[in-house]
Amino acid sequence: GQQVMQIPQYQHVQEGEDFTTYCNSSTTLSNIQWYKQRPGGHPVFLIQLVKSGEVKKQKRLTFQFGEAKKNSSLHITATQTTDVGTYFCAGPHGSGNTGKLIFGQGTTLQVKP
């Protein structure tokens, strides 16, 4: 069945270092979304990418959608302690705009001050 894989599962960085998480889908996706979950919190939508090769930036966060629309990445430049949390990628499950998403396993980021 359809799968979305995310690596690494955990990442510990020193504050100020960069961080990247990678997401790979077994199928071509119409779009990919990224969510952030703070410790003890709930996932919160960050961004959606739709176009092949799309790159979007949010301050220190850079999101990319692969040319084949099967992979994506999130890069954080100069991490801060406020970046701590788990980052999930998610793609539509099947077809149609039902909101059903299949999530990657998430990458948990720890930042040492």
Partner 1 sequence: DAGITQSPRHKVTETGTPVTLRCHQTENHRYMYWYRQDPGHGLRLIHYSYGVKDTDKGEVSDGYSVSRSKTEDFLLTLESATSSQTSVYFCATHGPLSGNTIYFGEGSWLTVV
Q: What tokens appear for 19 in the block? A: 């961080």
Burial label, 79 (beta-carbon count in 10 A; 0-12, 13-18, 19+): buried
| Selection from 66, 68, 39, 71 nearest residue 55 by Cα | 66
Among 8, 15, 45, 58, binds partner 1 (CB under 8 A): 45
Q: Which is nearer to partner 1, 99 or 113 (CB)?
A: 99
Binding region for partner 1 (CB under 8 A) out of 56-64, 66-74, 75-83, 96-104:
96-104
- List residues near partner 1 by CB under 8 A: 1, 6, 9, 31, 33, 41-45, 48, 88, 90, 92-93, 97-106
